[in-house]
Amino acid sequence: MKTQRKFIKSIVAAATVESDIAMPWQRGARRAAFVAKRIDPRVALKRA
């Protein structure tokens, strides 16, 4: 097997095994509140 193919196969294998990575929207209530506040169109934005 060529070195590049072996490298790519090892990267793909590692990616399938490590599926427990926490995405930003899964990190907790404080961050969820922050994201909800940013998305909420009713909040008036401050102008510079």
pLDDT at 18: 65
Return d(Cα 36, Cα 31) in angstroms, integer: 9
Contact 43, 37 (CB under 8 A): yes
Overall number of domains in the chain: 1
> Which pLDDT tens digit goes with each residue over 2-46?
788 999 999 888 887 766 677 776 778 888 788 888 887 776 667
Return d(Cα 15, Cα 38) in angstroms, integer: 31
- Helices in 1-48 by DSSP H: which ranges? 3-17, 29-39
27: containing domain: 22-48
More confident residue, 8 or 48: 8
Q: Global pTM? A: 0.35
47: in domain: yes
38: in domain: yes
pLDDT at 34: 82
pLDDT at 12: 87
13: in domain: no
26: in domain: yes
11: in domain: no
30: in domain: yes
